[in-house]
Amino acid sequence: MQRGIAFLLFVLGLATAAHAAGGGIPRGDLFYGVPAEARWAPFWPLLLPPLLPACDDAGVLSTISGRFAETQRTYWNPQLAIDGFERVREIGYRANGLSRRYCVARAAMNDLKQRTVVYAVVESLGIIGMTWGVEWCVVGLDPMHAYSPACYAIKPIVQRWLTVQPWLGEYGLKARY
């Protein structure tokens, strides 16, 4: 009985010493500065490179136009759809320390207007986290204000921060898409 208790205390002490030596979760101030796949308990894509498609990938753009048409048909304006995309460009890659690709494009709508589309291609956002997925917003057509104002909330943090700083004056990020 005494041997069992002594062995249990030894194992408990050994586990405590290993945790104190740095085998546990990183400190709070270091935790968010390290990308998710390089943290203590690595996510499985550490073994495989992230397979995020480019901003102008046909699968990404067709996902956006298909989901936009479905949403409009179901809730808002059944006739409105995206006919095509132009001026597609990347505005950030891993800008928040995550596996995300931030993009912006001009969408040619079937009502003969051009609108800006801001979207993020995100790793593990697809079906049950096995593939990439897309978060998107069409500027001016966000009636529930999910990404308000003007799809501002879906942009990278650095770009959001730099666009509202008064000390930047005319040098802020004021690109027209």
For the segment 50-108, what is each residue's pLDDT rounded down to a tens digit? 578 999 999 999 999 999 999 999 998 889 999 999 999 998 887 776 678 899 999 99
Give residues with Cβ within 8 angstroms of 76, minimum separation 6: 141, 143
* Residue 163 confidence (pLDDT) above 80: no
The pLDDT confidence band at residue 171, using thresholds 50, 70 and 90, is very low
114: its two tokens: 């051009």
Rg (CA), the chain: 23
- Residue whose C-alpha is closest to residue 149's, from 118, 110, 114, 104: 118
Distances (CA, A) of 62 to 4, 73, 139: 64, 16, 18
- Distance between alpha carbon 51 and the CA centroid of its chain, in Å? 14
- Report the DSSP pairing between strands 133-138 and 82-93: unpaired
The whole-model pTM stands at 0.64
Q: What percent of the chain has pLDDT over 70?
A: 67
- Side chain identity at residue 72, one-letter code: Q
* Residue 119 confidence (pLDDT) above 80: yes
**More reliable by pLDDT, 154 or 18:** 154
CA 123, 105, 95 angle in degrees (round to 5)?
40
